[in-house]
Amino acid sequence: MAYVESILQKCTSFPQIRQLHAHLLVTGLFRLHYSRSKFIDFCATSSAATLPYSAAIFRSVPTPLTNDWNALIRGHAQSHHPINAITCYLLMSRAPCKSDALTCSFFLKACARALAPIESFQMHAHVLKLGFDADVLLQTTLLDAYAKFGDLDSACKVFDKMSKRDIACWNALISGLAQGNQPHKALKLFDKMTQSNMMPNEVTVLGALAACAQLGAIGEGERVCDYIKINRFDENVIVCNAVIDMYAKCGMVEKAYSVFEGMRCCKSIITWNTMIMAFAMDGDGEKAMELLSRMGGAGAAPDDVTFLAALCACNHSGMVEEGLRLFESMEDHGVRGNMKHYGSVVDLLGRAGRLEKAFDIAESMPMPPDAVLWQTLLGAAKTHGNVEMAERASRRLAEMGSSACGDFVLLSNVYAAHSRWGDVGRVREAMRKKKVKKVPGFSYIEMNGAIFQFYNGDKSHPNWREIYGKVEEITCRIREFGYEAETNYVLHDIENEEKENALCYHSEKLALAFGLISGKEGSVISINKNLRICGDCHVVMKLVSKLYDTEIIVRDRTRFHRFKEGSCSCKDFW
The pLDDT score that the predictor gives to residue 45 is 82
The pLDDT score that the predictor gives to residue 498 is 47
| Residue scoring higher pLDDT (175 or 404) | 175
| Residue scoring higher pLDDT (204 or 440) | 204
| Dihedral pair phi/psi, residue 552, rounded to 5° | -125, 130
pLDDT for residue 42 is more than 90: no
Please tell me whether residue 557 adopts helix, strand or coil conformation.
coil
Exposure string of 292-328, with b = 16+ CB inside 10 Å and e = fewer, is beebeeeebebebbbbbbbbbbbbbbbbbebbbebbe
d(CA 159, CA 484): 53
DSSP lists the bridge partners of residue 554 as 527, 561
Q: What is the pLDDT of residues 524-542, one digit of tens each?
A: 899 999 988 988 899 999 9
User: Mean pLDDT for the chain?
Assistant: 88
DSSP lists the bridge partners of residue 17 as none
CATH of domain 165-266: 1.25.40.10
| Dihedral pair phi/psi, residue 158, rounded to 5° | -60, -45
The pLDDT score that the predictor gives to residue 4 is 65
What pTM was computed for the model? 0.79
pLDDT for residue 34 is more than 80: no
Report helix, strand and coil shares of the chain as percent, to nearest 5: 65, 5, 30
| CA nearest neighbour of 550 among 560, 536, 537, 540 | 540
How many CB atoms neighbour CB 557 within 10 A? 11
Q: What is the pLDDT of residues 498-515, one digit of tens each?
A: 455 567 889 999 999 999
Q: What is the pLDDT of residues 343-401, one digit of tens each?
A: 999 999 998 999 999 999 999 999 999 999 999 999 899 889 899 999 999 999 988 88
pLDDT for residue 26 is more than 90: no
Give the start-to-end residue ranges of the domains of the chain.
Answer: 165-266, 442-568
